[in-house]
Amino acid sequence: MKKLVLGIFVVTLFSFNLKAIDYGIRGGVNFSSLPNVEVDLGNYKLFGEPDNYFGYHIGGFTQVKFLSLYFQPEILFTSVGTFMRLEEVENDITFEINRAYFKTRYYKVDVPLMIGPHIGPVRLGVGPVYSLMLGHSNDYDAEILGVDYKQNLFLSNFGYQIAAGISLGNLILDLKYEAGLSKFGDTVTVGSVTNPFNGRPRQVILSIGLLL
């Protein structure tokens, strides 16, 4: 009898959870920046510019609701970037003529795991995000300062996201903030000088999803 009751409970719980699982696709835009970054590189200094870089993301998600909570794992291809400035210096004096502005772009797969309460159509969430780096590029022109520039990134890293969202029928809208929990990169090299460089972009993320 106990086994029968337990079996009915498990089947009922499974059926309830199955009805509470939704799948969908999503995409949107990212506004990323790299403020408060300054790296000494011998006769040069590297700065992160506060200007927002416009990027995008696209992928899929699963949303599981249980009582007043939800769990939302996602897998997204993401393109983000930052604006950088490299300046020649001597005795801590910057030569404004000898400076180069450039963009750095990062291509990665993000896996956010969001969890939080939902009240009717409104959701609040927080959770970790795992990032797998696929590659990066920049439009730095070595002829401006006469030195090469190279950034060395880790293959993967972790961050966190804070989210607020709303569901409108089959549409879900989310506003997120993302920042880092682990180092984004190892070092940056200018000419023959190499120094540590973390520099994970902060992001404000606007996303729209469609339940299938």
Dihedral pair phi/psi, residue 4, rounded to 5° = -65, -45
pLDDT per residue of the chain (212 residues) written in tens, 0 to 9: 545 444 544 444 444 454 578 999 999 999 998 767 788 888 888 888 888 899 999 999 999 988 889 999 999 999 999 898 888 887 665 556 678 889 999 999 999 999 999 998 999 999 999 999 999 999 988 888 888 988 888 899 999 999 999 999 999 999 999 998 888 888 888 888 888 887 778 899 999 999 99
Classified as helix, coil or strand, 132 is strand
- Residue 51: per-residue pLDDT: 82
Q: Where are the alpha helices (DSSP H) in 20-165?
A: 142-145
Tokens for 65? 């609701």
**Report field, pTM of the whole predicted structure over 0.75:** yes
End-to-end CA distance of the chain: 40
Architecture of domain 21-211: Beta Barrel (2.40)
Looking at this protein, which amino acid is placed at residue 76?
A: L
Which residue is listed with tokens 């995409």? 27
The per-residue pLDDT for 8 is 43
Phi, psi for 167 (deg, rounded to 5): -105, 130
